[in-house]
Amino acid sequence: MQPILVAYATTEGQTRKVAEFIAERLRIRGHRVDLVDLATPAAQGIGSAYQAAFIGGSVHQHKHQSALVHFVKSNRDWLASLPVALFSVSLAAAMDDMDSRLEARRLANEFLDESGLKPLEVRCVAGALKYTQYDYFKRLIMRMIAQQRGGSTDTEHDHEYTNWNDVEAFVDEFLAAAHVPGSRPVKG
Ligand SMILES: Cc1cc2nc3c(=O)[nH]c(=O)nc-3n(C[C@H](O)[C@H](O)[C@H](O)COP(=O)(O)O)c2cc1C
């Protein structure tokens, strides 16, 4: 059976954590996985021999990483021939109000329009506030945004909003929708 590709772009590391979690869940289900950070040279060597792909990135100032857009544009033809799942990590997806949820989906749709990707499934994944990793100005800006949106303003600590049960459900929904063969049932 051909492997499943999990390719991602990250700025502060939360999307890497999500991608690693997806890869681990796929392996538990019996799949071979290629996990690739699109900012590394390994991204140049990604071929077309996959049965499915998870593609993900995060939102900064209303945009996904240019490495993600570049990867999708340069590999559009073979990506169009297999089932693809997009995961878009953002702070907007972490908030409970409807406006934020719609904003997260709008940002994902803008990425799809720009890149031309046509995924079978899209998931907006709640990200993290990594105050301890930000420089002074980033911390100030993110604290202000968090205050407006209802996120934590405690800059002494990092805050993870990712719902791991939701990410796991996303993996299973995609495998079922894509009719990916060979998935082992997971007990418990
Ligand atoms: C400078 C900066 C700008 C951001 N801009 C947005 C934004 O426009 N919309 C949003 O929903 N989240 C925004 N975020 C939140 C990130 O999407 C969130 O922290 C995410 O977990 C980052 O993922 P990464 O660690 O994989 O880069 C921003 C974060 C930073 C640090």
Distance 37 CA to ligand 1 centre (A): 18
Atom of ligand 1 nearest to the CA of 11: 27
Q: What's residue 182's pLDDT?
A: 72
Domains of the chain: 4-127+162-177 (3.40.50.360), 129-161 (no CATH)
pLDDT band at 187 (very low <50, low <70, confident <90, very high): low
pLDDT digits (tens, 9 = 90+) for 114-162: 999 999 999 999 999 999 999 999 999 999 999 988 899 999 999 999 9
Nearest Cα neighbor of 43 from 80, 12, 8 is 8
- Mean pLDDT throughout 168-180? 96
Using the predicted structure, report yes or no on whether residue 188 has a pLDDT greater than 70.
no
Q: What's residue 16's pLDDT?
A: 98
Q: Which residue has the tokens 């979690």?
A: 21
pLDDT digits (tens, 9 = 90+) for 48-64: 899 999 999 999 999 99
Instruction: Enter the tokens of residue 188.
Output: 């418990």
Q: Which residue has the tokens 């420089």?
A: 135
Using the predicted structure, report yes or no on whether residue 8 has a pLDDT greater than 70.
yes
Q: Radius of gyration (Cα) for the chain, nearest Å? A: 16
**H/E segment holding residue 150:** none
Q: Which parts of the chain are beta strand (E)?
A: 4-8, 33-37, 52-60, 63-64, 84-90, 121-126, 128-129, 159-160
Q: What gap in Å lies between CA 68 and CA 23, rounded to an integer?
A: 18
Nearest Cα neighbor of 111 from 48, 51, 68 is 68
Q: What's residue 186's pLDDT?
A: 78
Distance 97 CA to ligand 1 centre (A): 17
Atom of ligand 1 nearest to the CA of 16: 26
DSSP summary character for residue 184: P
DSSP summary character for residue 29: T
Distance 122 CA to ligand 1 centre (A): 18
